[in-house]
Amino acid sequence: MTDLPNVHQGAAGTAVPQTKVSVVVVNWNGRDLLEPCLSSLSKQVYSNREVILVDNASDDGSVEFVRSVFPWVKIVESSENLGYAGGCNLGVRRATGDYVLLLNNDTRLAPDLLLRLVTPLEHNPLLGAVSAVQVERLDAHPPVSSQPTTINVIGKHLVHTNATVSPFYAPGACCLYRRALSSEPYDSDYFAYDEDVYLSWLLRLKGYHVGVEPQALFEHKTSSTSRRIREYVVFCAERNRWTNLILFYEASTLAKVAPLVVLNVVAKTAASVEEIRPKLRAYLWLFRNLRLLLHKPARIQSSRVVRDSDVIRHMTGRVADASTPGANLANTLSLWYMRALRIPTYDSRREREASRSPKAEAAR
């Protein structure tokens, strides 16, 4: 690894102390993906780091390959496939850094990515986690970034359309967070999908912010592993979405959003028949594990320092992206429902700001 001094110049020319960063990469049969990922980590200008590879019982020679080509990587072998959530938890338990970068194995990082992510955490003690920006190609000029996503009040992922508000969550493909805030960033029961929403929601409940660093860039071969197991992806995503709602919302908020959740399930199921079976499996899992789910919120809610209204203002009240058929009507009705029940999404704040604009004042 590159030998650098303990202080590096930040993006604005200010000295940034080299707080130790632990990079946790989770792998399952991803031997062909590891070379570009680990090579890009070896080229990071930020020197005070360790790289931990958690291998989820791969049988493709991943561990042997890393030991041979990247001997500086610390390897943690699991005897079973713990999924991304469980794998990250295992890696974080072995981490020694104050900050932890949770990283997919199918990524490639710009050389200054770690430095770019550490800098805002060093300067803002209330920033709990920060994510990088995914681009199509790092060597493009300028690089073309993917559309950022956020979640709505029922936990569905939508394109983030409000530039004045940070997306609700830091995507888990490349996310740096303060290890002291959560010794296990994810709930291992999630296995994969929406575990990143879990971490960001937990940090927001604790009163911390979640942000994105626009100058920290990385490439990502999105869902390289999960394309092989589409039905299981749908099952995990639906199960974990519902779990997030149950774990994090106050009972009164959950009661308010429940009608929208049910309507969304009916509409989405009718529009996508091939997803009926995995979603039914998800609902059956939730029913069978209801007792477990009802015991989990107590631990999470005990760390709460803000009310739901402070968290929801970082979500959208929309239920569909603009490209979805019928989106205008669905979003109009949904936003009306938000206003009627006084659910303070960032859309309502944008409406208030628009009403105070000089043009709006002149029209009165």
pLDDT on residue 266: 87
Question: Strands 157-159 and 149-151: what pairing?
Answer: antiparallel
Nearest-CA neighbor of 32 among 54, 50, 51, 58?
58
Amino acid at 141: H
Q: What is the chain's pLDDT, residue by residue, as a tens digit (364 residues)?
A: 333 223 344 444 444 558 999 999 999 999 999 999 999 999 999 999 999 999 999 999 999 999 999 999 999 999 999 999 999 999 999 999 999 999 999 999 999 999 999 999 999 999 999 999 999 889 887 777 777 889 999 999 999 887 778 899 999 999 999 999 999 999 999 999 999 999 999 999 999 999 999 999 999 986 555 555 788 999 999 999 999 999 999 999 999 999 999 998 888 877 778 888 999 999 999 999 999 998 898 889 999 999 999 999 999 999 999 988 889 999 999 999 999 999 999 997 655 554 444 444 444 4
pLDDT value, residue 273: 80
- With a CB cutoff of 8 Å and minimum separation 6, the contacts of 352 are none
Question: CA-CA distance, 195 to 172, in Å (whole number)?
Answer: 8
DSSP conformational letter for 316: B
Alpha-carbon span 337 to 271, nearest angstrom: 22
Question: How many Å apart are CA 169 and CA 212, to the nearest integer?
Answer: 9
SS3 content of the chain, % helix, strand, coil (to 5): 45, 20, 35
pLDDT of residue 10: 44
Domains and CATH numbers, the chain: 19-226 (3.90.550.10), 228-355 (no CATH)
Instruction: Name the one residue in this structure whose structure tokens are 């360790």.
Output: 50
201-223 burial code (b ≥16 CB/10 A, e <16): bbbbbeebbbbbbeebbbbbbeb
The residue to which tokens 């499996």 are assigned: 281
SS3 of 59-92? CCCHHHHHHHHCCCCEEEEECCCCHHHHHHHHHH
- pLDDT at residue 229, as a whole number: 76
